[in-house]
Amino acid sequence: MVAVKRALLFSTADRYFALLIGFATVAAVSRILTPGEIGISVIAAAVVGIAMSAREFTSGSYLIQRTELSCEMVRSAFTVMAALNAAVALTIAAAAPLIAHMSNEDRLIPYLRVISLALFIETLPSLVVTLLRRDMAFRKVATINASSAIAVSAATVGLALLGFSFMSFAWAWLAAAVVTCAVAVFICPYFWMFKPSLHYWREMVSFGGYNGATVVLYRISEATPYLFLGRLVSPEASALLQRATMLCTIPDKVILGGAAAVVLPAFATETRQGRALKDPYLKALALITALQWPALAVLALLAHPLVNLLLGQQWHDVVPLVRIIAIAMMFTFSFELNYPVLVSMGAVRAVFLRAIIVFPLTAAILAAASLLGLEAVAWGFMVAVPLNALVSLQVVRRRIGMEWKDIAAATARSAVVTGSTALGPIAVAAAARFDLAMSSGQAAAAVLLAATGWIAALWATGHPLLAEIRGMIPVLRQAAQRG
């Protein structure tokens, strides 16, 4: 357990650093480039996201979940990953004119071709990071990720200032891929890993088949609203939705970002040792909801000042979208746990079957909503996300022997904590005649009252998160003493 907590500490610190750099980059670029310019990169990212999902047919999860791992398996994994990445990169580069024509946006051609090169270069550091995650060596993973974050931030902002417009994002991605590759080789100079081998390719592709298909379906559903809005409305509409969803995923990234990288190796370890996953899963739900739900409630209430702070005045149209999507995102509390639990149990087929049900339906809902405009897509999330959560929890529930009442019991105190947290911002809004366009001073007061209400409710309900916070203190001290 101490090893898991130490890994969680380094992984969380890694993600927090990346988030801090990312927020600063978004804040800067949102003030340099127009929503229309950023919209081009959003549409391109949606296309690339779908293509990148094909790489999951050779997922690194195969290496993480293996009980034993040989050198031959690692070499086979790299060979298959490199071959598939090369195929994906070449396909994107060749299909760039067709994609641009279908999107009615010729500026996508150079963007996609630069990105295709970056995707191939990422093969090597991807393998290294996977092996480090398996060994719970998250300090080294943090070093690799931090170098990538610094490179992409510096390149994006610098190129935007130099007038590279939307291409700033593409060239920055390529720069980050090169830097990450160099750092990964420096940290793990084990060149035997890169010797071609196809000994285990059938086993790897067999495992990755379900996983890859699942990720492809997910990426398509995720990209659908951006592609439809870009085609039917404008690139600016895609940019507005992307910025709204980005803000609404901040709580997940801040709260769960570090945990996500640790959860699969940790659950896989529990499974290898023959332990049941029901109790760890329910405990994780309790901890997540005590953090995620209050944060999303505050985000919905303080959307106006937060958009002004992070994005600037030209993104004011994002505010109503954030208020809607933030509430929908409360239903994602189990999402970061469901996949690791099922994969650690070897139930990749169950993951795929869930994806067949959820993701096409999600894409259909959001595609239909896009015909009605930008705000309709936001309301579409209010239908699609709860539906996804219901199906996902049902699949996991059957696998680990969990009842609905167990989920309700695990999250009941978190609901009380969320209500207590929201009281402060609501009181500030009430004092201003329920005007949610708060000033900086009012927003600061609302945040302070929210934090006070959160802490008070944790203590009053005896929430298990308090014990976890106390338990992290010795780990933090040890980490500080070591380095």
Q: How far apart are CA 365 and CA 347, in angstroms?
A: 27
Distances (CA, A) of 60 to 68, 138, 184, 309, 331: 14, 16, 16, 38, 27
Confidence of residue 77 (pLDDT cuts 50, 70, 90): confident
**What average pLDDT does range 375-404 have in this prediction?**
91
* pLDDT the model gives residue 264: 46
pLDDT tens-digit map of 228-256: 998 888 899 999 999 999 999 888 877 66
Residue 367 CB contacts under 8 Å (≥ 6 apart), including other chains: 224, 225, 228
Maximum average pLDDT range among 148-152, 278-282, 394-398:
148-152
What ranges in 163-277 are assigned the alpha helix state H?
Answer: 167-187, 201-232, 235-248, 250-272
Bin 439: left if φ > 0, else alpha if -120 < ψ < 50, else beta.
Answer: beta
Tokens 């379900």 locate to 210
Q: Which helix (H) or strand (E) holds 104?
A: none
- Give the mean pLDDT of the chain: 84
pLDDT(337) > 90: no
pLDDT(394) > 50: yes
Q: How many CB atoms lie within 10 A of CB 467?
A: 11
pLDDT(439) > 70: yes
pLDDT(349) > 80: no
- Decide if 229 contacts 241 (C-beta within 8 A): yes
* pLDDT the model gives residue 66: 64
**What average pLDDT does range 346-351 have in this prediction?**
74
* pLDDT the model gives residue 151: 93
* pLDDT the model gives residue 376: 95
Q: Report the chain's terminal Cα–Cα distance, integer Å.
A: 21
pTM of structure: 0.77
pLDDT tens-digit map of 450-481: 999 999 999 999 998 887 777 766 655 665 56
Longest dimension (CA), the chain: 69
* pLDDT the model gives residue 334: 87
Confidence of residue 266 (pLDDT cuts 50, 70, 90): low
